[in-house]
Structure 1
């Protein structure tokens, strides 16, 4: 494994200020975890530096993108999607989304004020914080696995964005409520999903521009960081499980777009499913990398993950010994699966890829 350029990065003043304010507000001392095993530190999680403390969520959603006239007939446009063809409003006004990538896309295209409902992930139970206060106030319509159709109907949407992967059996019921489009998969096809959902929202050209801008930013980030010299490991703690994420995962694709290399095991070259693989604690050597990014899916997983990270097998990893482990926001690296989340991952790389934990 090639070693990265281990340059001690100077932490930006804004990051230090934000961390100091948060610690003062909590009366904290910067220690890793509380007696109950749930990590609440703003600067360190079981020895891992925490990224994203200074992230701006106040103005994260974009301005309203202009309506794309392509394909419009009268007041509607026909959209071909994973469940068929649907006539949708040319410029929808009341939008319900049933997966996190669609929430990210609506925000990126500046249509956040038109959201009347959104499904949430089960382990978190609320709208993702990284998308800011406007999205935080959007009404829940159940979970991405079990949307509440009766609740959705009361909101009188004129467009529903859903996923064939999540709820293929609900398409007819949702279509009876409002015009509905489905994407095929989740995560692996996030770029295609952005373009399809953008088209359904009447902003296909703006979605393409957002994707092109991201691709340019990813290339520039990789060149600036000389990212091809580093192998990054991505580890996620789930309730009762440990996963490493491979090249077909959302975060894995963003790393690849930025030219970041992956440890041999995490390339999952012989696996049928290259999104992720589960590890036992005895297999933690497969989590090794020049740098390790760690996330936690909910508080239960966070408590379990902290215990693993305190253990001897984790502490024996080279990246842990060299203080090159960083805790990242699960809502961004794992469940965001949209262009705003992707750009936030690039920001995390800029803050950490060649640096030490202070």
Structure 2
């Protein structure tokens, strides 16, 4: 299934170097394996005209208020939301380093392939959650963008290198995205990107008759099966498109045992894997009798999706999920 990319860019990244050939995993049809990332990140959005004081701009965030460069030139990003936002507002070419978001499926680079080869080749400054302070300092950034989950001690270390913003998480992916866009000096572009996405989500929902389908969303870890609740990133996108959820999946996320997979059932089931170990365990489960007893499996209505995208945060990832739904919600595995 081939999915389309979006707008033009000042620098076209060569997505032809990315090869995604898998079309079936343990009977599940693979969605998004031919995702087109050429021109995905748009041209640089205009700088926000308000709030500038000389060469800086005061920005409130999880750790207080910081004076940031009004138009940052050398950016280090430490979380998925910030990296996604850097693409969405067109400032990605100024990202000089980023925490490794997608360590297991990274191709030739260190960063997620869904953001295109330009960002995929950005050097790593350590994994998400454990940034390499010395590596960050060596890049001489003028802005560091991370999230509150890194904690105050890490924030204090980073501020000795460059002005640092930690976005406040917990209020949904849209709020986090807007905080990131504002820190990059392009909050208005962030609002416009979200408005455009919401309009497209509503349109796609009508086109695919989304309200008639209840979708189950499952993630295989190395030794467990997790079912997404409505507050997960994927759950929020499904709700905005209008896709329903099975009765058992309308509250919080939960785990299921391999000997009772009935809570996984849906009109359609989307599966994703947490790295190679998750895929190995997932294949074992999906080859078993309990899995094949599901009606969605019998009907050919199970699809494997990219874990980084469906576990992501940001409007670029949200659009990728939207494309996946458009391609698969009414499809069958042949």
The alignment's TM-score, normalised by the length of structure 1, stands at: 0.85
Q: Distance in 1 between matches of 2:279 and 2:152?
A: 31
Report 1 or 2 for greater relative contact order, CA contacts < 8 Å, sequence distance ≥ 6: 1
Task: Report Cα offsets for 1:117-169 as digits up to 9, x if no partner.
Answer: 10013752731011111111101000111000111001011111111123443
Aligned residue for 1:254? 237
Q: Flag as ranges the 4+ runs of structure 1 deviating above 6 A.
A: 11-14
Higher mean alpha-carbon deviation, 164-173 vs 136-145, is at 164-173
* 1:53-132 equivalences in 2 (<5 Å): 53-121=33-101, 124=104, 126-132=110-116
Aligned residue for 1:351? 327
Q: Distance in 1 between matches of 2:194 and 2:152?
A: 27
Q: Distance in 2 between matches of 1:302 and 1:174?
A: 35
Task: Report Cα offsets for 1:275-321 as digits up to 9, x if no partner.
Answer: x2222212311111000001111111111111110001111111000
Distance 1:13 1:98, change over 3 A: closer
Q: CA deviation at 1:12?
A: 6.9
Number of aligned residue pairs: give it: 316
Aligned residue for 1:179? 163
Gaps of 5+ in 2: 5-18
Q: Distance in 1 between matches of 2:315 and 2:183?
A: 17
1:302 corresponds to 2:296 = no
Q: Distance in 1 between matches of 2:142 and 2:46?
A: 18
Distance 1:141 1:12, change over 3 A: closer
Task: Report Cα offsets for 1:10-43 as digits up to 9, x if no partner.
Answer: x6799xxxxxxxxxxx9xxxxxxxxxxxxx9611
Contact 1:145–1:167 (Cα < 8 Å) also in 2: no
Paired residue secondary structure (1:278): strand
1:212 corresponds to 2:195 = yes
Q: Distance in 1 between matches of 2:32 and 2:3?
A: 13
Aligned residue for 1:136? 120
Contact 1:49–1:357 (Cα < 8 Å) also in 2: yes
Aligned residue for 2:250? 267
Higher mean alpha-carbon deviation, 161-170 vs 259-268, is at 161-170
Q: CA deviation at 1:213?
A: 0.5
Among 292, 296, 313, the residue aligned to 1:319: 296
1:157 corresponds to 2:151 = no
Q: Distance in 2 between matches of 1:95 and 1:241?
A: 37
Contact 2:265–2:295 (Cα < 8 Å) also in 1: yes
The alignment's TM-score, normalised by the length of structure 2, stands at: 0.91
Contact 1:322–1:356 (Cα < 8 Å) also in 2: yes
Aligned residue for 1:342? 318
Aligned residue for 1:148? 132
Contact 1:122–1:144 (Cα < 8 Å) also in 2: no
Q: Distance in 2 between matches of 1:49 and 1:61?
A: 27
Paired residue secondary structure (1:165): helix
Q: CA deviation at 1:183?
A: 1.2
Paired residue secondary structure (1:283): coil
